[in-house]
Amino acid sequence: MAKSPESEHPIKAFGYAARDVSGVLSPLTFSRRATGDKDVRFKVLYCGICHSDLHFSKNEWGFTTYPITPGHEIVGVVTEVGSKVKKFKVGDKVGVGCLVGSCRSCENCAKDLENYCPQQIPTYGFLHYDGTRTYGGYSDHMVSDEHFVLRWPENLPLDSGAPLLCAGITTYSPLRHFGLDKPGLKIGVVGLGGLGHVAVKFAKAFGAEVTVFSTTPSKKQEALEGLKADHFIVSKDQEQMQSTANSLDGIIDTVSASHPIAPLVNALKTDGKLVFVGAVFEPFELTAVSLSPGRKTVAGSAIGGLKETQEMLDFAAKHGITADIELIPIDYVNTAMGRMLKSDVKYRFVIDVANSLKAP
Ligand SMILES: [Zn+2]
Ligand SMILES: [Zn+2]
């Protein structure tokens, strides 16, 4: 018989969890494993709220098992390390992103692409190799193999830096991988939310001229003045879209809802690349002859490997890149989820876990 969340492991833990498709989060007592030889245990200080947390809480992707404790933008301070841990000591500031495990032996893992390992273990809502469930960062503490723990740069803020662990790496990785990180390139960013606003910051830090595409005309001022983007295009305005034809080296599309992509392909120059990082499940309409004249590429990208995530954090610290956040107590989380659904946040909620999560 399956053990209960409270009795699977020896160490008591607590957090917030959704228990059914309503997605409403409420306090949950569960357990975490004892610190293994290669494990790092840390007290959670901050955790960002990602759109995936909402999708999972409501079982919108169809593979949620309840109870589920979301959270994969987790920053904390180390409280215990296993005897074989090399990279960390008690008191270190650390982060955990979307993954807490991978096979470590496949072709992807060998190339530091744990994010494409077929046996990867997401930070919450999946089974660990021992058959127990993973719980995310809306909780008092975490335990993870040190390979999946990031060193937190000295001068990177803990709260506004937390969203970099998902939103940051999700946009940084394709900019790097597809060669869209060179000064002077013209880069488009579609969607100005949690992902999009950090995509603009990374692209600007790489020296790009950045065009933001949004369906919301009222975001123009914040895009140009707040985020220092160079151009703003209302993507529903055909004339404005046509003015971008053959002008961009690359586009990072962060939108998680079905939307027309032919006008975006049209905005690419020869050899331009359109990269999707949002979770869109509906098929899109695209013709081969919109790609072949101009040798254009349409691609996808998902988070990043651990080595690249560390590189991204160090780059962000060096260039002063953080997310724009609204810091909230954990008992505000359901309200925050509702507001996030309406895009009523600039641009990421971060839970002040250590100061607001009370032991039951
Ligand atoms: Zn995420
Ligand atoms: Zn692997």
CB 280 within 8 A of CB 257: yes
Tell me the CA–centroid distance for residue 301 and ligand 2, in Å: 17
Question: What is the model's pLDDT at position 279?
Answer: 87
Tell me the CA–centroid distance for residue 79 and ligand 1, in Å: 25
Indicate whether 48 and 172 sit together in one domain: no
Q: Which of 67-76, 161-170, 274-283, 310-319 has the lowest mean pLDDT?
A: 274-283
pLDDT in tens, 52-81: 999 999 999 999 999 999 999 999 999 999
Indicate whether 140 and 171 sit together in one domain: no
The ligand whose atoms approach the alpha carbon of 110 most closely is: 2
The ligand whose atoms approach the alpha carbon of 123 most closely is: 1
Question: What is the model's pLDDT at position 4?
Answer: 86
Indicate whether 334 and 208 sit together in one domain: no
Owning domain of residue 39: 11-166+324-356
Statement: residue 226 has pLDDT above 60:
yes
Q: How many structural domains are present in the chain?
A: 2
Indicate whether 179 and 79 sit together in one domain: no
Indicate whether 175 and 142 sit together in one domain: no
Mean pLDDT, range 223-242, rounded to an integer: 96
Tell me the CA–centroid distance for residue 35 and ligand 1, in Å: 26
Asked whether residue 89 is assigned to any structural domain, the reply reads yes
The ligand whose atoms approach the alpha carbon of 115 most closely is: 2
Count CB-CB contacts under 10 A for residue 246: 11
The ligand whose atoms approach the alpha carbon of 119 most closely is: 2
pLDDT in tens, 262-298: 999 999 999 999 999 998 889 999 999 999 999 999 9
Tell me the CA–centroid distance for residue 72 and ligand 2, in Å: 20
Tell me the CA–centroid distance for residue 116 and ligand 1, in Å: 15
What is the rounded distance in angstroms from the CA atom of residue 179 to the CA atom of residue 200? Answer: 16
* Amino acid identity for residue 223 in this structure: A
Does the pTM surpass 0.85? The reply is yes
Indicate whether 91 and 43 sit together in one domain: yes
Report the CATH number at residue 192. 3.40.50.720
Tokens 């595409």 locate to: 213
